[in-house]
Structure 1
Amino acid sequence: MAKKKRGLKWALLGLGILIIGGGIFAWQYGQTHFAPHTTIDGQSVGGLTATAATQKLAAKSSQITNRVYLNGKLLVSGKTQTVKPATQAQVKKALASHHGLFASNKHSAIALSNSKQVQTYRQTTLLKKVKQALTAYNQKATAAHPTYYYLKNGQIQKQASTKGTQVDVQKALAKYKTQANRLKTVKITMGYQTPTKAETAAAAKVKSTLEQGLKKTLIYHVGGKDYTLKGSDYLVNSTPGKTATIDLTALKAKLTKINNSDSTQGQAMSIKLLNSGKTITTNNTTASNYGWSLNVSAEAQMLANKFTNPNVQSNTKVTMQNYSGQNISYNRNSSIGSTRVEINLSTLHEYIYVDGKLKANIPVMSGTLSGSDKTPTGLFHILYKQSPSVLRGKNDNGSKYASKVSYWEPLTEDGVGMHDSSWQPSKVYGNPSYRSTYHSHGCLNNPPSKMKLVWKYTSTTEPVIIYK
């Protein structure tokens, strides 16, 4: 037993001496040799002494070709530069801070002599060329894309996804920069770009929008009527990955047809008078301003946007938005309503109706039946109401007038309307025989005591029929 203990003691002592000796050797070795993975002017000197490293640097070629490869293929060939071999004094100085047997595996690139000129070239001129070359490469390479959907002849088609051969330019440049100071051939290894999440989501949205658009129906409300417009009638062929557009020509043709058949502005209309039961036909001059007319181009674009907007659901009711005029609830195939004003120029009487009930029968005075002071005939609407007001214009002799009235309801843009007229003698109201000597400049003059009734029972946009 004693002999075994003495043997173990000597073995442990020997092991300790060996470890200490090895440590001393490793320390001495590390002080005189470059750390692993160290390079000087692009040449590997890891594990070499200063003398061996100097000899290797002197023996190696000092020509730097500045070539850059992308995935094994030459991308850029820069100018060739010459690097002077480092001196032994420079190498020894570098060893002082880059020695060690057990130093980190992290690469340590040392630049001596005039190698900084090469590095400057690589960090400026060559970097610019690499960036341009990468951009040019991507322009010729195939772009990656997800599965695309598109419309062709009314059917949704699918274009398969592709991985592509384009690279991420910024990541490639970052890899270039990490190698630029090593004074070796730069070899950039890059994986190809894949479709981004945003691109994949966008492609899926296109599919959804196409499906919805083909099924979508809009209920177009115009002139008091409803028209059914189907997306399948107006969506046109699209390119892969792009939302189908609307055939504006076809949509405009549909709206033009509606406008031609239903619009009331400037159109002749047959109207049955409430005061007599007689049917008259209004004229279609611009002075007869009652009604509406579509702005076909703007209206077509508005509807097109709703067809392609995924937030607009099918069977949404869309009321016309782009039009001129008033009274959009009427069309030429429907009545203008029983709330109206009827003015007979032959008898000079004005009839005020609300929901078909006569509220006032008022004798009036008008302009002439012809000439510059005539009262226009046709279908009009009350533009606005103003109380009190001052009517301004010119008399037949060219002099100006400014007449104060308590109530003013214009019917035309050039100043024909209904108002009270305190300056007229009472005998002229409802008496056509005085028209040659007593007449307005075209307005419908009401007795001051009656105009208040007109004001009470009429409203803006209400139709006014003036006839002979």
Structure 2
Amino acid sequence: MKRTHRKQTRSNIWVLLVALVIIVIGIGGFVMNRHQRTHFNRSVKINGIDVGGLTADEALARLKKVQWSNQVYVGQTLIVTGKTTSAHISQADLPALEKIMQQQYSFFPHKVNHNYHLQPQQKNSYRENVLRQALQTKLEQLNQKRNPAQDAYAQLVNNKVTVVPARKGNQYNVAKIMQEYDHQLYQATIRLKKKIVQPVTATSATVKRQQRKLDKLVDRQVEYTVVDKKHTITVADAFSKVTYHNGKYDYDDVPLRKLITKINNEQGTLHKRYDFTTPGGSTITVQNESYGWELSTTKARKTLSQALLTGKKQVDGRQDIYGLGYNTGGLGYGLDNNGLGKTYAVISIAEQRAWLYRDGQMVQSFRVVTGNQATHEDTPTGVYYIMYKQSPSVLRGYAANRGKYEQKVSYWAQFTDSGCGFHDAGWRKDWSPKAYLNHGSGGCANTQPAEMAKAYGNLVQNEPVIVY
């Protein structure tokens, strides 16, 4: 009976002991849990500041006191040192701290390092603007002394596509570094990863696409018609080098410009010298001045480049010509008789006479008085064109023997940029063949009123005027 009683007693003691242990553990767990819910873990930092073991209020007080030196590192290199400022933490940031407290909570304490980001309610304009701009400027300055990366790229040279390999550099990738800076804006010390600009490699999708685009140009050509001559121009003829970047072709067209110059030398008529048969049957050499045409290098380059790059097979050079003087579109393109055609006017200084031709037939011949030779106001020789006609008109200018003048005329047909033209001169008394030697005009072709009335109807705007 006594043995049974002893066993029961021992059993009760063990129960009490277990119960006591459970109570102690429960109380301890409660106390620890309460502590964990109101204190940061030992390894926790906020914006790089150690707040381990502190309550939210204690952490806030510590963060408020923080002074930032505003040093910015890239890798191990100190790039910028700004002025010392506060962390801009205020009482308004307590709710955010309490939220971080909840995020970092664990039932058991741990020592896993973790740095939480807290963006203050009060913005730090110094770091957002002044320090940020100083960092970007400094990085850009440092890059000027560093070697840039060279992207690999495809090129078309001598009708063959090849790839120029990439070359690494050591310039900072400013854009990516600045992105990381924005993420670390409120860290006590800003330490940014060293990011270097990496080149596009030869095996990249970008270079492969360039190769495909350039392959399309191999053996491509265009037929360029100028008057009645056809010029076959290939990509290799036009471009010494072609590349493809950002959705468009880039090219060196020095060879194309030389080709255009060659065509102008062979076919263009501006300032060209050639033989001309006078109304009297003599053969003389004349030179185009304002009359004629040439290919505009700018227009022809654009026409031919676009044709070659887009695959157009044929283009006409007429759209690319230009001229001088009043009509900048060019004159005489495609006409026979060295571009003069069959409708033109002729002035002979020696004979003091003009002849007008229409469709190859002379329709009028009349006496003129040209520029005064004695005062060096000679009518300029060369090939010009009727720039415009006006009836009536007022002539204004300066003459050696008259000074500044203003003269009304019934008919006016200008043919030089300097202001020479056909006009009636009813005031003139001396119409002799030698009048121009000492009593000539200021440079115009003075014409008797009756003849000028007829000539005004026979002259056509843009027709050539040959003065010899």
TM class by shorter chain equals 0.5 to 0.7
* 2:29 is aligned with 1:30: no
What SS does the aligned partner of 1:269 have?
strand
**Structure 1 position 350, deviation (Å):** 3.7
Counterpart in 2 of 1:170?
A: 178
Counterpart in 1 of 2:369?
A: 366
Residues 203, 228 of structure 1: alpha-carbon distance in 2 compared, 3 angstrom cutoff: same
Residues 138, 269 of structure 1: alpha-carbon distance in 2 compared, 3 angstrom cutoff: closer
Unaligned runs of 5+ in 2: 1-21, 59-70, 82-96, 107-111, 119-125
Alignment of 1:242-321 (within 5 A): 245-248=251-254, 250-272=255-277, 278=281, 280-284=283-287, 289-292=289-292, 299-300=296-297, 303-304=300-301, 310=309, 313=312, 315-318=314-317, 319-321=319-321
Give the counterpart letter for 2:314 in structure 1: N
Unaligned runs of 5+ in 1: 1-18, 54-65, 80-94, 112-119
Contact 1:234–1:247 under 8 Å retained in 2:
yes
What SS does the aligned partner of 2:389 have?
coil
TM-score, normalised relative to structure 1: 0.59
Give the counterpart letter for 2:274 in structure 1: M
* 2:391 is aligned with 1:387: yes
Counterpart in 2 of 1:406?
A: 410
CA deviation profile, 1:268-302 (whole Å, cap 9, x unmatched): 322345x66x3532434xxx63524759xxx5455
Alignment of 1:151-190 (within 5 A): 151-159=156-164, 168-174=176-182, 176-177=184-185, 180-181=187-188
Give the counterpart letter for 2:343 in structure 1: T
Contact 2:180–2:192 under 8 Å retained in 1:
no
- How far apart, in 1, do the equivalents of 2:349 and 2:79 lie? 96
Counterpart in 1 of 2:463?
A: 462
- How far apart, in 2, do the equivalents of 1:126 and 1:414 lie? 63
**Structure 1 position 214, deviation (Å):** 6.4
- How far apart, in 1, do the equivalents of 2:134 and 2:336 lie? 71
What SS does the aligned partner of 2:423 have?
strand
Counterpart in 2 of 1:416?
A: 420
Contact 2:274–2:285 under 8 Å retained in 1:
yes
- How far apart, in 2, do the equivalents of 1:98 and 1:246 lie? 61
- How far apart, in 2, do the equivalents of 1:342 and 1:77 lie? 80
- Equivalent pairs: percent with the same residue? 20
Contact 2:378–2:443 under 8 Å retained in 1:
yes
Residues 43, 189 of structure 1: alpha-carbon distance in 2 compared, 3 angstrom cutoff: farther
**Structure 1 position 317, deviation (Å):** 3.4
Counterpart in 1 of 2:220?
A: 215
- How far apart, in 2, do the equivalents of 1:327 and 1:269 lie? 16
Residues 22, 238 of structure 1: alpha-carbon distance in 2 compared, 3 angstrom cutoff: farther
What SS does the aligned partner of 2:368 have?
coil
Residues 139, 241 of structure 1: alpha-carbon distance in 2 compared, 3 angstrom cutoff: farther
Residues 455, 158 of structure 1: alpha-carbon distance in 2 compared, 3 angstrom cutoff: same
- How far apart, in 1, do the equivalents of 2:368 and 2:168 lie? 85
What SS does the aligned partner of 1:336 have?
coil
Residues 23, 190 of structure 1: alpha-carbon distance in 2 compared, 3 angstrom cutoff: farther
- How far apart, in 1, do the equivalents of 2:143 and 2:455 lie? 80
- How far apart, in 2, do the equivalents of 1:397 and 1:137 lie? 71
- How far apart, in 2, do the equivalents of 1:338 and 1:127 lie? 73
**Equivalent residue pairs, number:** 389
* 2:338 is aligned with 1:334: yes
Q: CA RMSD in A?
A: 5.8
What SS does the aligned partner of 2:181 have?
helix
Counterpart in 2 of 1:449?
A: 450
Contact 1:131–1:173 under 8 Å retained in 2:
no
Residues 217, 321 of structure 1: alpha-carbon distance in 2 compared, 3 angstrom cutoff: same
CA deviation profile, 1:193-227 (whole Å, cap 9, x unmatched): 7969xx96698468636844862536264x77654
CA deviation profile, 1:243-291 (whole Å, cap 9, x unmatched): 653252x445444444444343444322345x66x3532434xxx6352
Counterpart in 2 of 1:3?
A: none
TM-score, normalised relative to structure 2: 0.59
Residues 22, 455 of structure 1: alpha-carbon distance in 2 compared, 3 angstrom cutoff: farther
What SS does the aligned partner of 2:456 have?
helix
